[in-house]
Amino acid sequence: MSPSIPHTVKWGIMATGGIAENLLTDPSTRDVHDVAHIIVAVASSTSSDRAASFIHDIDGPASSARPYGSYAELVADPDVDIVYVATPHSHHFQNAMLALTGGKNVLCEKALTVTAAQARKLVDMARQKNVFLMEAVWTRFFPL
């Protein structure tokens, strides 16, 4: 029996701060081989040069990930399956909404939003667009 080809999830990273550096741990290090994660794009709100520097630092000089100087460019990239929102939490609502409105799946750092009303709007948009939305709370997956 030949090994199956893993499902590849193509990530776009929105923001280049420290929390974004630790996003993707290779699933094979946990003996998971049916899924692979790759970074295909990174956006910085300050410049595409900052995004390029981030890509070089986390993915190496041979990376094929594309750097963008705006979040809208990242969302418009047709190769991005899911956007990781790593902006300051005060901007999570507007940035997650941008990605959801663009039809992208979203993993948003905690806190998801600053109000319950904003969270409801994001959930409503995710349902309307039939895309995945999740707050990145890693303790959610700890066994009891």
Question: What's the CA gap between 73 and 4, in Å, rounded?
Answer: 33
Architecture of domain 7-141: 3-Layer(aba) Sandwich (3.40)
With a cut of 60, say whether residue 1 has pLDDT above it: no
Q: What is the pLDDT of residue 21?
A: 80
Phi and psi at residue 68, in whole multiples of 5°? Answer: -130, 150
pTM value is: 0.88
Question: What's the CA gap between 122 and 42, in Å, rounded?
Answer: 22
Q: What is the pLDDT of residue 31?
A: 76
pLDDT digits (tens, 9 = 90+) for 59-101: 777 789 999 999 999 999 999 999 999 999 999 999 999 999 9
pLDDT digits (tens, 9 = 90+) for 12-28: 999 998 888 877 666 67
Ranges of each domain in the chain: 7-141
Question: What's the CA gap between 93 and 61, in Å, rounded?
Answer: 32
Coil, helix or strand at residue 49: helix
